Amino acid sequence: MISTKGFSLIEALIALLVIAVGLMGIAALQAATIYRTHTATLQGLAAIEAQSMAAKIIANQAALAGYNTTDAVKVIPSSKCTTITLPCSPTDMANYDLSQWGTDLKSSLPQGKGQVACTTIPAQCTISVSWWQKRVSAATGGTPGSSGQILTYSLVIRP
């Protein structure tokens, strides 16, 4: 006669193992979802910042060449555009817009930077927003690792 003592215990342990594997899968899925949501948020912020600069360029077309910059974060604003009493030329306004935009990029995106390249004939501007994005490592179960890459969002306008 075969003894069946402990058979229920083995069944319970197998069921526990199946549940544990399922819960680990759910946790990995949640971590990946959080990462993707964060990535989408940063991409959305970059698009908003590029559209913001596009609106400023369209509003100040007289200084189209004044918006050219390789890094808006490093632009020093003109003090003429900060008060009502001093006259602010279109070029000064472009400088002020770039400095404000650079400040916004620096505060809203990790290592955020902005570039603007405008041509007058034909009137066209390429607005680029760059930021640091951490990479997801499959070895760590989908959690962000310490390595990353610079991502760029570009927008071309014809004011």
Mean pLDDT of the chain: 87
For the beta carbon of residue 18, count every other beta carbon within 10 angstroms.
10
Percentage with pLDDT > 90 across the chain: 53
Please list, in sequence order, all residues whose beta carbon lies within 8 angstroms of the beta carbon of residue 100, skipping any fewer than 6 positions away.
Answer: 77
Give φ, ψ of 142 to 5 degrees. 90, 5
Task: Tell me what pLDDT residue 86 has.
Answer: 75
Name which of 23-27, 30-34, 92-96, 141-145 the model is least confident about: 141-145
- How much is the average pLDDT of 129-144? 69
Domains of the chain by residue range: 7-157
Cα 123 from chain centroid (whole Å): 27
Q: Tokens for 94?
A: 């472009």
Per this entry, what is the length of the chain?
Answer: 159
Percentage with pLDDT > 70 across the chain: 89
pTM of the model: 0.77
CB 67 within 8 Å of CB 96: no
Does 85 have pLDDT greater than 80? no
